[in-house]
A and B are shown apart, each in its own frame.
Chain A
């Protein structure tokens, strides 16, 4: 049996501008294993949401999926008929877009938003109240929320509602784009714990996307770091944490504010996260990288394997580690 839940092959996604096309996600390859929490990290503008939408094939104009495959259950999502795609969405595969908790229908009680979801998949809501109760319990919401409008709920409760909806139809894979961003620390921490419990208990495959590196390292089994629409490092969480192979991952980890860390001990990361140069021949991280050498600006580094499923895209590894 195949152990991968989703396989992304040579994915290219970008945005149409007035004059041409700007490529954001470049030749992206990744295989997500069944039952894991795969974390995708990157600063704002690195292309995380574009990637998430592309995997779910929900990119909207001016965005466009130029080429590539996303294999799910032996089928290429990119080539599926609209009708087949509709059938697998929410049932086998679901997606919580960034800021989804603010996208609940404001004039419809939560109960009917659950019903709508069932009806859309040809399921009679009246016979499935148990199912709704069950998912509410999983996210630790009281059933009374069903009689509320979204604005009557706190941010954390709305996010829990959205999570409950995403798992209502027992999907095998769930993509979550910034699921806790903007929530209070206490609420965020509780939701993260619950998400992990649900994921472990039901063996759901989760693709967890966020700019918040600290929580990503707390929750993920494997992590991919993206920069300018490309993976610059990926591997098992512990390897990424203890044996960084790419300077970007290494420096970001050093830049996370943390109890007990002194400002003087921080190796600062210079520059602006979203200033990517199109058609730059060398390493995209070149201008911000304190370990760069002339050669880095000349050729684009390939993704290389360091050790057992730990990959990096840097010409100067392992030399740069001697300059730390």
Chain B
């Protein structure tokens, strides 16, 4: 099978003004090559400032890269705009860290899932599709959630509402940026399990961004370790976690919390 998305030497420089002396350039991404296939979850792992979120923002066209290329199903989309950009934006959806901030407090859960269906002129039966999506993300039975408002459900359920909302657009790629880091322990597993279910049942490719190797170990097939904007190590998750080669990867593994360890 071919890649859903692939980057080639993706580089991003930010300019920052330093005092009166002028401008300094910071390389947030440095010749990054990653790929994502359908039906897989790929982890982008790194501490804060490593460039993870910059990469996500470039992939969803919130930022422009300084150089390098992005391919979507073998087509060079680095410079697309207008109609083709709009079409691509539907194929790639993002799930964010804070499930509260990403929902509108004044609207019901049903509204959140219905709206993208209306906007995209969904051709089938909208009510059936809402039920189907709610069942998919395990907001069941749908009736007991539809009329609730975001503040009336738990953080984990809010995250699932948001995931149902983005799945309504039938994307081929999902980017999840720290989707469980703000959730309680007992809710994390549920959301992680949902990511696996989406991958297995819908065949979507998922990019899972985090600094936490614990959750990465449970859901990803492959990982890229980012450090100062560079991929320092990549490969199958198990291989890297059991025999890391790079010092930075080793530090991340050592810092991963574990109740059986002792500080």
Contact = CB atoms under 8 A, between A and B. Distances in A.
B141 to A, nearest CB: 15
Given A192-B263, A211-B184, A255-B186, A272 B157 contact: yes
B192 A263 contact: yes
Contact of A214 (B187, B241, B258): B258
Given A185-B47, A218-B263, A261 B218 contact: yes
A272 B214 CA distance: 22
Interface string A250-265: 0111011111111100
A44 B217 contact: no
A253 B260 CA distance: 10
B263 A213 contact: no
B65 to A, nearest CB: 25
A108 interface: no
Contacts of A257: 188-189, 192, 212, 214-215, 217-218
A193 B263 contact: yes
A228 to B, nearest CB: 14
B253 interface: yes
A256 B219 CA distance: 14
A314 to B, nearest CB: 17
A167 to B, nearest CB: 18
A319 interface: no
B185 A213 contact: yes
A103 interface: no
B261 interface: yes
Interface in B6-41: none
A185 B186 contact: no
A196 B263 CA distance: 8
Interface in A186-220: 186-189, 192-193, 196, 211-219
B201 to A, nearest CB: 15
A14 to B, nearest CB: 20
A274 B158 CA distance: 14
Nearest to B215: A257
B189 A268 contact: yes
B48 A215 contact: no
8 contacts: A43-B185, A213-B259, A256-B258, A256-B259, A260-B217, A263-B189, A269-B186, A272-B154
Interface of A: 43-44, 155, 184-189, 192-193, 196, 211-219, 241, 251-253, 255-263, 266, 268-269, 271-275
